[in-house]
Amino acid sequence: MRQILGSLYCLALAAVVGLGLTWFALSKGLELDALQIGAWSAQPKSGTIEADPYARAEFERGGWLPIGLGDGVAFTARTDDDGRLLDGRCNVTVSGVTPQARYFTVSLYTYDGKLLANPLNRNSFTSQELLRNSDGSFRIAVGPRARPGNWLPTSAVERYLLVLRLYDTPVGIATRTEREAPMPSITTGQCT
């Protein structure tokens, strides 16, 4: 009897620890096969059968449809280039150029995978509508107060994600450096 109770206790403890660590990994955004370039992180294999189980579980939990490897790649930024979490009460600037792609989008999401709601219903830019400089670079102001040019309102939420989706791009599993895939910089300015 004592051996059975000991075995049941061990199984229960193992189940609690295993499920707890899985929940922690999914809620904190653990990325095993991640491609990290600056503040941007992507999982190029997420749309394939080779995706790691945590990436699959995160996509299923959020109800997201991953981009297939041949179609493109989605990069996510939770922090700025200095490692500070993106705060909707601060003025953030996304600037520079993107890697070569036929089409791209830059969007604001909540941590649970929903588009960031705001009174203007403006939560993304596409490569077609983005105002650019003469050299092809761009600048997007992200923050609680209106800015001239490309501006995405945050409605002063505490935390958000930036998602850059590149469609029909050579960026993928073999890409490893900023030189191979120039990513826009993310800088945080004044906070309200």
Domain ranges of the chain: 31-191
pLDDT at 20 over 80: no
Q: What is the pLDDT of residue 50?
A: 62
| 142-175: b (≥16 Cβ within 10 Å) or e | bbbeeeeebbbbbeebeebbbbbbbeebebbeeb
pLDDT digits (tens, 9 = 90+) for 105-158: 999 998 877 888 888 889 999 999 999 999 989 999 999 998 999 999 998 788
pLDDT at 162 over 80: yes
Predicted TM-score (pTM) of this structure? 0.75
Q: What is the pLDDT of residue 153?
A: 94
Positive or negative, the Cα torsion across 122, 37, 82, 29?
A: positive
Q: Are 68 and 59 in contact (CB under 8 A)?
A: no
pLDDT digits (tens, 9 = 90+) for 85-99: 999 999 999 999 988
**Domain 31-191, CATH:** 2.60.120.600
**Where is pLDDT greater, at 1 or 158?**
158
> What's the whole-number mean pLDDT along residues 174-180?
56
Instruction: For the chain, give the mean pLDDT.
Output: 81
pLDDT digits (tens, 9 = 90+) for 43-62: 776 665 665 666 666 666 66
